[in-house]
Chain A
Amino acid sequence: MEVGNYLYLAMILFAIGATTVMLRRSAIIAFMGVELMLNAANLAFVTFARIHGDLSGQVIAFFVMVVAAAEVVVGLAIIVAIFRTRKSASVDDVNLLKG
């Protein structure tokens, strides 16, 4: 099987993730888009590691997973805090700051 196909898949996932962040209104869904982008990058890393016969791509994938987990926790904490004060997690309601 052609290795390049994994790269196309990674790019498509990345694009879907980016679109999700920009289009979806729910903070949690937007955040899931970010996670999808991170995992697309992971797939690209692992594919390149295979192409190069080099392990560092796989190591990076581990690090990215951990960073993504830390991000999830911080993000969820912020979203939960906002949800508790407003009873809504829509980014459209987050509109007090403008100028």
Chain B
Amino acid sequence: MTPLIAAAPQFVQPEIWWTWLAPYLLVLGAAVVGVLVEAFVAPRARRSTQLTLALVALLGAAGWNVWLWVDQFAPTEFKAIALVNGSLMVSYFTLALQTVILVVAALALLVVADRSRGADDFAPTAAAIPGSDYEELARTKGLQQTEIYPLFLFAVGGMMLFPAAGNLLTMFIALEILSLPLYVMSGMARHRRLLSQEASLKYFLLGAFSSAFFLMGMALVYGYAGTINLWAITNGHALQVPEALVGGRPLLVMGVVMLLVGVLFKVGAVPFHQWTPDVYQGAPTSITGFMAACTKAAAFGAVIRIVVWFAPFIGLDLHEEIQVTIVIVAIASMLLGSVLGVVQHDVKRLLAYSSIAHAGFVLVAVAGVLPYDGQTFVFPMNSAVIFYLLAYGLATVGAFAVVRLVRESQGRGADAVTLGEATHLSQWAGLGRRSPFLAVAFSVFLLSFAGIPLTAGFIGKFTAFKVAVDGGLWWLAVLAVLCSAIAVFFYVRIIVLMFFVDPAADDTEPEPAREVVAVGALGATSDAPVGTPLAGEPEAGVGLRLSDELRRTSGGVTVLKGSVGSRVAIAVAMVGTLLLGVLPGPVLDLLEKTVNFLP
């Protein structure tokens, strides 16, 4: 038997390269300072302080990343920089993906910070019992939940670490740092609190379950390779398969697949998608946007790291096993997301299924990874994936920012009360007349999701599927195109609904008042009286009957103005989506020249 420690390892003091660590320290440090702000700053000044701090941190880190990219990396040179004894590995891929995450997160933060009249997404005290006296007191005193900002920054910090992880332990810690704040933030919605808490619990239980899988996968890989350092694993530096594990190749494959389970859960790919619709629906809408866009980007960074760095497992080519896994998951995600998206009547759930389908589309590109031939260090999927995630992130943050401004309301005139989001599709009828800016923006985002030319989504899909074709998986690309065609149906249906269907309920007489309890607790859509369906009620767009639905949501729909910040976020997302769709050249060229090296 081997001795416990073969040779007493010498302690080597790691070099700390502060220049390279600065972006992480900036974001996580701002989060820690944010906690102190919560402790010491007067409640009145907290929100503005926190918001400034968070925005400065996010944009500062993004700027710093750009500086690192321009000034520190020589262009077209292959490099991965190991920080803190290889705990972090920074490459072009990492920097690019982090910058995408930071920019999209900054947009999402503008939406999260929207506290204009009636638009506050977060319960004044998330810990209070819904409908209790304490909550009422908090509401009347105008308390605001400002802990959301440090939580947000912690999550972003984890997302930055995730694609930068140089060993599996860092990856696991990053996974937890990004997940734990998201679990909490999902449960903080002001309206429909029970749904929100339920989403939080589901997300937490399933998330913890999946991270346990990630951890066990990590243990198996460690057992096989004797190291958790990705670089060492890839190069087989420490590979001495111990006697107890000789012939344990299935164990290793199982380990890698379990690692993938952990990260694919965060991506929301089938069969690890069960949480997605529920959590997207229940969580506060601004958080949903952030979670959908940024978590997906970060998790795909980790997926690519795992796929590329493990596929050429030295001496044991794992390429085939990994590719088969990814292809199966991609097919299942695309099919399930597109097909179930068609039957959804809730706009948030619809976007959730759309996000599942998009996870599948990105995986199509990942599946195109070529077997490692020992010489080429070029992975064309990297640039395709980053571009796709940028396009998807912009459209997602924008789309959810629009969703949260379309509200149910009760009463008329001065004493109208704004309730939760009007998420039922029928409530969106005629939005184009009521609020042209939001309707046009939402249409642009939907067209981008659908992959219609002249939007970023089209270029994203095109490059992603091209990678699969080049990798010899042309049939997968054909399947992906078919699935996008199915998905176009439900995106276009909403556009038709917004612009070409009349908002029927708007001019009818005031509805019978609903329970006021609904404000604090369950929200609207389940408890209203069901009237007799009106004869001859038109169908809205394709196959969505208006009559019953409009009765149910008799409360009428108001479109909030939203704060300047959230309108700016929507506008920036829209312009970005169009710009990337019309002139993708510079961005794509830049990405192809740089990030396609080892991620």
What residues make up the interface of A, taking CB atoms closer than 8 Å to B?
3-4, 7, 10, 14, 17-18, 21, 27, 30-31, 34, 37-38, 40-41, 44-45, 47-48, 50-57, 59-60, 63-64, 67, 70-71, 74-75, 77-79, 81-82, 84-86, 91, 94-99
Contact = CB atoms under 8 A, between A and B. Distances in A.
Contact of B226 (A54, A63, A79, A99): A54
Contacts, number: 151
Interface stretch (B41-49, B75-83, B189-197, B588-596): B189-197
A44 B255 CA distance: 12
Nearest to B244: A4
Contacts of B198: 82, 94-97
Interface stretch (B27-35, B126-134, B390-398, B400-408): B126-134
- Chain A binding surface, main DSSP class: helix
B278 A97 contact: yes
B218 A41 contact: yes
Interface in B175-229: 176, 180, 183-184, 187, 193-195, 197-202, 204-205, 208-209, 211-213, 215-216, 218-220, 222-223, 226-228
A85 B130 contact: yes
B549 interface: no
Contact of B200 (A7, A67, A78, A99): A78
Nearest to B521: A85
Given A21-B205, A37-B216, A54 B227 contact: yes
Contacts of B209: 18, 21, 34, 37
28 contacts: A7-B244, A18-B212, A37-B212, A41-B216, A44-B216, A51-B223, A51-B242, A51-B244, A53-B6, A54-B226, A54-B238, A55-B5, A63-B173, A64-B172, A67-B173, A70-B180, A71-B176, A71-B180, A71-B211, A74-B184, A75-B208, A78-B184, A81-B187, A86-B194, A95-B198, A97-B198, A97-B277, A99-B349
A77 B176 CA distance: 16
A3 B570 CA distance: 58
Contact of B127 (A81, A96, A99): A81
A27 B212 contact: no
A95 to B, nearest CB: 8
Interface of B: 1-6, 9, 126-127, 129-130, 169, 172-173, 176, 180, 183-184, 187, 193-195, 197-202, 204-205, 208-209, 211-213, 215-216, 218-220, 222-223, 226-228, 238, 240, 242, 244-245, 277-278, 281-282, 344-346, 349, 522
A78 B279 CA distance: 14
A52 B242 contact: yes
A28 B212 CA distance: 16
A96 B219 contact: no
Nearest to A45: B219
Contacts of B349: 99
A85 B219 contact: no
Contacts of A50: 2, 4
9 A-B pairs with least C-beta separation: A37-B212, A48-B223, A44-B219, A53-B6, A97-B278, A41-B215, A52-B226, A34-B208, A53-B2
